[in-house]
Structure 1
Amino acid sequence: MKTTLVTVLLLSIQLLFAQEITGSWQGELDVPGMKLPLIFHIKKEGEKLISTLDSPKQGATNIPVSTTSYTADQLALELPALGIYYSGKVTNESINGTFKQGGMELPLILSKIKGDGLAPKLYRPQTPKAPFTYKTEEVTFINSTDKNTLAGTLSEPNNFNKKQPILIMITGSGKQNRDSALFGHKPFAVIADDFAKKGIATLRLDDRGIGGSSKGSNDETSFNYATDINAAVLFLKAIGFENIGLIGHSEGGMIAPIVASTNKDVKFLVLMAGPGQPINELLVQQNYLAGKLAGMSEEALQKSSQINRMIYDFIKNYKGSTFDSDFEKFINSSSEKLPDDVKKQVSNAWFRYFIAFNPDEYVSKLKIPVLAINGSLDFQVPAKENLEAIKKSLTKAKNKNFETYEFQGMNHLFQECTTGAMSEYVEIEQTISPKVLDKMSSWISARK
């Protein structure tokens, strides 16, 4: 009888704790360059606690938390897919804990939210809303090279002549949907809508493993993504489109020339903040500028650049077959210590291909019309160096039909901004400047 009583008592305590922890909890991470609000929603299903995460400034909601555990007054939340771990002590209506991701550990105090706990809606006035004045069609097709399925949206003006321009849209780094959704913005949806109203058709696609597109392999690289775009060109060609172009943003502006350099059905390119410099050089500069915007000291910036350059040079010049063990030896022989998750990123096939990539290898082969644009306040792909490098490569190709253009006062997303810092991406209501939309559409319309 005593054993039964103790068991019931313990169960009652656990239920009490579970009831107290359920609800929505909000805190703010102080990360370099910005304040990042986070909201955890915790609820009880049967005897189990389950949670989701919202990051309002990033436009991300209902991210599943893999593990939610609450013992006595200690809460632990784990999202291993994103490398996120949070643990904290619960006291009344707050949780005092530590947030870990990407080798960094930051204090994060969560406070209980009264009401529904929903993340505030972000105002994005340019996001198109149905009904549309043009045709949209959901399409799927197979990449015969890698055997994966791709899904997307074909936006076509009414009474469209298939000899008129159509562009395949190519997203930047990271898994993105067909709208290239980020921080509540949907830039590819905005571009497709604007183009369709001006007589230009588009095909925008979900990246591998996102939306309606099937997963790829664990060791895929930008070159694999180029086979997706090549498959899209073949798909459009097969259904009668004749004037096919590519429009790529950031890494998409790196992938577009790979495809165009070998597929003669690509008639023109638009490169939006596409890299022209060797990527290892670009990333050293990108990291330096990001740190500067975040307020790092010049001494810390130089130290960081030195470490990054050392790592990137090793990756770019590596010719062996046992990368992980050789990189471990290389790091151990230096005075630098890297967190395990950083080592994992470095050994990733995509990252290694990316670091070793030189856009000139492909851009210098292009004879077709090219428009390369960038914003003067872009710290991720700095305008001056990269537009100049693209111009140099196209000149080497003896390309007689290209234009480079730098938009003053715009960031990597082509928003009109103040500093170009990442913190502005979410704060600015504008998704993409109308000046950029007009420049691209007028240039494309001349490709008839």
Structure 2
Amino acid sequence: MSLFYLLVGLLAIYPAFGAMQMPPPNPLVGNWEGQIALPNNQKLTIILHISADNTQQLVAKMDVPQQAAYGVSASRVALQGTNVEIDFDVIQAHFTGTLSSDNKQIVGHWQQSGADLPLTLNKTDKPTSITPKRPQEPKPPYPYEVHNVSIPNPNAPSVILAGTLTLPKGNGPFPAALLIAGSGPHDRDEDVFGHKIFLVLADYLTRHHIAVLRYDKRGVGQSTGNFKTATLQDFASDALAAVKFLMHQPGIDPKQVGLIGHSEGGIVAPLVASQMPNIAYVVLLAGPGIKGADLLALQEERIAQVQGVPSAEIHKMLEINRQLYQIVLEEKDPQKAQTLMQNVLHKAQPKMQQQAMDQIIASLNTPWMRSFLAYDPAKALRQVHCPVLAVGGDKDLQVPAKEDLPLIQKALRQGGNRQVTTKVFPGLNHLFQPCQTGSPLEYAEIETTFDPKVLAYISHWIQQQLGLRSSP
């Protein structure tokens, strides 16, 4: 039967069923809002927008305004009786709850990264709308040239990096900087909770007569390649290709090109500089000098302390994680490592749900995590001989400056480098924002993207190293 005749047939019989009602709307359809209570008396607002598609299949999108996260798509929405289940595979999270008899409330739990937190969602016609303020974000027109570029990596044929090159107006050639982003699938702006860190940094430097190249990491944004399978060494290969590309661009002085790496980028920058003696300078923004496994343990301890986790619980967490890290470091076969980690978690947390356990193991069993846990930054730092600036905030909980900067300085000097400057900025966190505690939970709520004092210090230091006149 053709589609035309089927439609005619349906239209013909419809009048005979004039009293027939359409199926009632699914009670989950609508806007839902609730708050997750976090340690240290902080609360995180969760907003769900649930609708039905043309096949009456439920779909959901989530907003977390305090983290500037909007439209996060659910991978599954299910209602069986009064039991509600919603999965967010992209962030490895799961919500399960019970729908009230009046269909206006869902009482349940949010599960993510091993945590199981109460979350009650209430149906609302007007969900909270919070637009974070980002006063430092520059808007066009810009007082400099902006060029979109494509950067091939000859050592990885599947990788073509998409980037932006900003050039000061006027007569070149200009000194230049390559920006290297931190861990995670960052685009060229290194967007963290709505803070476009590298856009702000690139804008400041370019206004002060330093050209800047920044790029989407492989497999992110407009760049090709596979992010999920990449290691630290792969990201170093990409940065190496990018800085060589930058040195050959019109208007760039190839003898005055340097590297600026933030967080993980502060590991990648020395790896690149150790292979290229013609790099003019390196700036490490909260760049690790601590071994990977040791840094993660220190980071976990400091964040837990600030969030008010009892010391006994912190000690237990650190011991479990130490065992998991050791397995990843010693067992090269991911399948065997998975089994060993399951045994550790079953013994330590017998009531942990399998989904939460799988999420933890999956996050530790990636090529990147394996490369990071085993990495000692000192080896590459000892081979860097150009001027180096290493800065950190004294409230940085992810790469604590007090422990980190002395190790960077020590490794550089062991290699004979005496052109080393380190500086700790008081009151600043891992993103170089003025903050209260340094907790990552504060990042999105702080309006400042990058403290102006640090921007000015970096720019002045670069100009000083290159023998340039410092611009106002």
| TM-score normalized with structure 1 length | 0.91
Map 1:426-437 → 2, pairs under 5 A: 426-437=444-455
Distance in 2 separating the partners of 1:156 and 1:222:
29
- Tell me by how many angstroms 1:307 deviates: 2.2
Tell me how far apart the structure 2 counterparts of residues 156 and 202 of structure 1 sit (CA, whole Å).
Answer: 7
Write the distance in 2 (CA, Å) between the matches of 1:400 and 1:250: 23
Which residue is equivalent to 1:38?
Answer: 46
Deviation at 1:167, TM superposition (A): 0.9
Q: 1:88 to 1:355 in 2, by over 3 A?
A: same
The answer to whether residue 379 in structure 2 is matched with residue 361 in structure 1 is yes
1:106: which partner in 2? 117
Query: 49-58 vs 67-76, which deviates more?
Result: 67-76
What do the CA deviations read for 1:375-410 (whole angstroms, capped 9, x no partner)?
Answer: 011111000111000000011011121101000111
Query: What is the distance in 2 between the residues matched to 1:311 and 1:12?
Result: 57
Instruction: After TM superposition, list the pairs within 5 Å mapping 1:291-310 onto structure 2.
Output: 291-310=304-323
Distance 1:235 1:225, change over 3 A: same
Letter in 2 for 1:344: A
2:228, 2:193 → 1: CA distance? 26
Matched, 1:69 2:87: no
On the 8 A contact 2:381/2:411 being kept in 1, the answer is yes
Partner of 1:325: 336
- Shift of the 406–12 alpha-carbon distance from structure 1 to 2, 3 Å rule, reads farther
Correspondence 1:18-29 to 2 at 5 A = 18=26, 20-29=27-36
Equivalent residues of 1:277, 1:389 under 8 A apart: yes
Instruction: List per-residue Cα deviations over 1:90-138 (Å, max 9, x = no partner).
Output: 23322222222222222211122323x4741001111111111111111
Which position in structure 1 is the counterpart of 2:61?
Answer: 52
346, 350, 360: which is aligned to 2:368?
Answer: 350
- Structure 1 residue 284 corresponds to structure 2 residue 282: no
Correspondence for 2:404 among 380, 386, 394: 386
Structure 2 residue identity aligned to 1:336: A
Partner-residue secondary structure (3-state), 2:281: strand
Which structure 1 residue ranges, 5 or more long, are not aligned? 1-7
Indicate the larger mover: 70-79 or 403-412. Answer: 70-79
291 and 169 in structure 1: CA distance in 2 versus 1, 3 angstrom threshold: same
Whole-angstrom CA distance in 2 between matches of 1:321 and 1:309: 17
Among 87, 108, 130, the residue aligned to 1:78 = 87
Q: Per-residue CA shift, 1:365-384, capped at 9, x if unaligned?
A: 11011100000111110001
Structure 1 residues 329 and 312, CA gap change in structure 2 (3 angstroms): closer
Q: Is the 8 A contact 1:165 1:444 kept in 2?
A: no
How far has the Cα of 1:333 moved from its partner?
7.0
Query: What's the offset of the Cα at 1:169?
Result: 0.8
Counterparts of 1:330 and 1:424 in 2: how far apart (Å)? 32
Deviation at 1:154, TM superposition (A): 1.0
Equivalent position amino acid for 1:328 in 2: T
Equivalent in the alignment of 1:4: none
Identify if the C-alpha distance between structure 1 residues 350 and 25 changes in structure 2 by more than 3 Å, giving closer, same or farther: same
TM-score calculated relative to the size of structure 2: 0.87
Larger Rg: 2
Partner of 1:194: 204
185, 190, 205: which is aligned to 1:180? 190
Q: String of CA shifts for 1:40-78, please: whole Å, max 9, x gaps.
A: 111222123222111211111112222223344443222
Q: In structure 1, what residue type is equivalent to 2:298?
A: Q
